[in-house]
Amino acid sequence: AETRKYQFDVQMTSVTRLCGTKGIVTVNGQYPGPTLFAREGDHVEVNVVNRSPYNISIHWHGVRQLLSGWADGPSYITQCPIQPGQSYVYRYQIVGQRGTLWWHAHISWLRATVYGPIVILPPAGVPYPFPAPDEEVPVMFGEWWRNDTEAVIAQALQTGGGPNVSDAYTINGLTGPLYNCSAQDTFKLKVKPGKTYMLRLINAALNDELFFSVANHTLTVVDVDALYVKPFTVDTLIIAPGQTSNVLLATKPTYPGAIYYMEARPYTNTQGTFDNTTVAGVLEYEDPSSSSSSGENQSNSNLPVFAPTLPPINDTSFVANYTAKLRSLASAEYPAAVPQDVDRRFFFTVGLGTHPCAGGVNGTCQGPNGSRFAASINNVSFVLPTTALLQAHFAGRSNGVYATNFPAFPPTPFNYAGTPPNNTNVMNGTKVAVLPFGTSVELVLQDTSILGAESHPLHLHGFNFFVVGQGFGNFDPTNDPAKFNLVDPVERNTVGVPAGGWVAIRFRADNPGVWFMHCHLEVHMSWGLKMAWLVLDGSLPNQKLPPPPLDLPQC
Ligand code: C2O
């Protein structure tokens, strides 16, 4: 194993998209940011220097951070932000993961532009459990706002209403040929016939789950969230913010210069406003006879362009069918360590709600019925503290920072998938759920559907979990557990709670620290759909969180 060292200079960079130029926060001036490469087992050291005017921290999304919770990155959870002019070295090891993950800013909405891929190769000499691709390409989905995204969320929180939606989706930071004034910013993948390309898909969009398809080509899914799955082949896939997936694309005989669009557009069944546009990138077959490979946009305009057909925007059954196909490899070499016994059961309702109107503009709030939008887990709308939870915990100074009584069950059960309760107000709180080291946890996440059924991609820091069951309607604690898959359930770090339904996950709390869990739709996170687990040290030396690094930022 090696140590991979990176330098991340966080800085302002001027970028033009859709004929508008704005200053965005980037790493090393790149948008999207640089790719971090490592092999499974490698150590990683990233020196993050903040030369921007914003407080920042970087999260290594999906990296397990075994005994390295100080490097996880969410602001006010594991660390105070890195202030302008300061720096912090993130040190961690990649353990038991191989595939694609990603890194992103973890404060306010800065991840809109501060993100990049993490490519994790198997250890040297260890092959993939599928035929090796000829080429590998990160394909990152994102969103672009004409306006400053920090202003977008600040304005929404001030008025209590929903934030402005993005103006375009992006593939590798590029808006593509389907938007006005955008064709020059198109992601283009040049391919040859008869080869296999592995696309390392990452959904870095802020607020949208996305369908993705490549015209006239199939995609074979081999890995999600940096863990192998039993391969299966589809025309279209669905990927939620936070999720990653490696897919194989086999090219075929066609004429030179043939052009196939790859497209992404949102899945949602909310009534509210969302960015209902489509981004395209180009798969272009090389013309072996053409001498210049550098000539851009020389495509022959007489050639037809093939575009894929994506499912209807609210196709919830497509999503359910797709996610049901995901299975762990569960082979002798890559076994699935599904916890068979459960020490603690939790039932969390997740969804939107309201706060009474206060502090709106001119005494009015723009949320539902004149209230402010809020979101909660078990009716607790999480409030970030002003110091970091992990620092407070380690120093034994939790008083006034957080409470340890995060409810294991919702305060008032109701018909989650049917009639909403009369009172939609949620409670503010900074509460954590405490788990002794090694606890085997079963957690059922239920969409409350209070302000309409809605899918929520829930992300857990510090762990992978097994998705043992999912369904629509209310979770039935008597009959549903009998149907759980405890043999080869998919293992991942971000799972969609189905719109109007539930999902059940299991994980073992074998990683001491404070671990954030939240909806990866950034707007829901801003409204409070988040909480934290406090996993206590075990008794053995390798079950204890080491002391913080000396350069850990202070608030
Ligand atoms: Cu990808 Cu807490 O985030």
As a whole number, mean pLDDT of residues 485-500 equals 97
The per-residue pLDDT for range 211-221, each reduced to its tens digit, is: 999 999 999 99
Ligand 1 centroid – CA 22 distance (Å): 25
The per-residue pLDDT for range 229-277, each reduced to its tens digit, is: 999 999 999 999 999 999 999 999 999 999 999 999 999 988 777 899 9
The helix (run of H) or strand (run of E) holding residue 526 is: helix 522-526
As a whole number, mean pLDDT of residues 106-134 equals 98
Q: Are 299 and 257 in contact (CB under 8 A)?
A: yes
Ligand 1 centroid – CA 258 distance (Å): 38
If one compares 171 and 361, the residue with the highest pLDDT of the two is: 171
If one compares 297 and 107, the residue with the highest pLDDT of the two is: 107
74 lines ligand 1 (CB under 6 A): yes
Ligand 1 centroid – CA 518 distance (Å): 8
pLDDT at 363 > cutoff 80: no
The per-residue pLDDT for range 412-441, each reduced to its tens digit, is: 999 998 888 889 999 999 999 999 999 999
518 lines ligand 1 (CB under 6 A): yes
pLDDT at 174 > cutoff 90: yes
90 lines ligand 1 (CB under 6 A): no
59 lines ligand 1 (CB under 6 A): yes
pLDDT at 361 > cutoff 80: no
Closest Cα partner for 525 from 473, 459, 452, 466? 459
457 lines ligand 1 (CB under 6 A): no
pLDDT of residue 291: 53
Q: Which parts of 340-486 are beta strand (E)?
A: 344-355, 372-377, 380-382, 427-429, 432-435, 440-447, 456-460, 465-472
From CA 538, how far away is CA 179, in angstroms rounded?
54
- Ligand 1: nearest atom to the Cα of 104: 1
Map 36-71 to HEC letters: EEEECCCEEEEEEEECCCCCECEEEECCCCCCCHHH
From CA 389, how far away is CA 401, in angstroms rounded?
7
530 lines ligand 1 (CB under 6 A): no
Ligand 1 centroid – CA 59 distance (Å): 7
pLDDT of residue 417: 86
Q: Which parts of 209-329 are beta strand (E)?
A: 209-214, 219-224, 227-234, 236-239, 244-250, 259-267, 279-285, 305-306
Number of Cβ within a 10 Å radius of residue 536: 17
**Both tokens assigned to 278:** 């489509």
pLDDT at 122 > cutoff 60: yes
459 lines ligand 1 (CB under 6 A): yes
pLDDT of residue 507: 98
111 lines ligand 1 (CB under 6 A): no
61 lines ligand 1 (CB under 6 A): yes
pLDDT of residue 294: 46
516 lines ligand 1 (CB under 6 A): yes
Strand 372-377 with 344-355, pairing? antiparallel
pLDDT at 295 > cutoff 50: no
**Both tokens assigned to 500:** 């109007």
From CA 519, how far away is CA 206, in angstroms rounded?
11
From CA 397, how far away is CA 413, in angstroms rounded?
34
As a whole number, mean pLDDT of residues 512-528 equals 98
The per-residue pLDDT for range 523-550, each reduced to its tens digit, is: 999 999 999 999 999 999 999 999 999 9
- Ligand 1: nearest atom to the Cα of 241: 1
pLDDT at 73 > cutoff 90: yes
- Ligand 1: nearest atom to the Cα of 461: 2
pLDDT of residue 300: 56
Q: For the chain, what percent of residues have pLDDT higher than 90?
A: 92
Ligand 1 centroid – CA 515 distance (Å): 11
Ligand 1 centroid – CA 286 distance (Å): 38
CA angle 315, 242, 218 (to 5 degrees): 55
104 lines ligand 1 (CB under 6 A): yes
As a whole number, mean pLDDT of residues 119-129 equals 97
Ligand 1 centroid – CA 357 distance (Å): 29
The per-residue pLDDT for range 5-41, each reduced to its tens digit, is: 999 999 999 999 999 999 999 999 999 999 999 999 9
- Ligand 1: nearest atom to the Cα of 518: 2
pLDDT at 452 > cutoff 80: yes
Closest Cα partner for 117 from 237, 216, 200? 200
b (16+ CB within 10 A) / e for 220-253 = bbbbbbbbbbbeeebebbbbbbbbbbbbbbbbee
Ligand 1 centroid – CA 208 distance (Å): 14
As a whole number, mean pLDDT of residues 118-122 equals 98
- Ligand 1: nearest atom to the Cα of 242: 1
Ligand 1 centroid – CA 276 distance (Å): 24
Ligand 1 centroid – CA 242 distance (Å): 7
pLDDT of residue 269: 84
From CA 166, how far away is CA 491, in angstroms rounded?
31
Whose Cα sits closest to atom 3 in ligand 1? 61
Q: Which amino acid is at 148?
A: D
pLDDT of residue 299: 53
- Ligand 1: nearest atom to the Cα of 516: 2
Ligand 1 centroid – CA 117 distance (Å): 14
From CA 318, how far away is CA 179, in angstroms rounded?
26
The per-residue pLDDT for range 318-340, each reduced to its tens digit, is: 999 999 999 999 999 999 999 99
Ligand 1 centroid – CA 411 distance (Å): 27
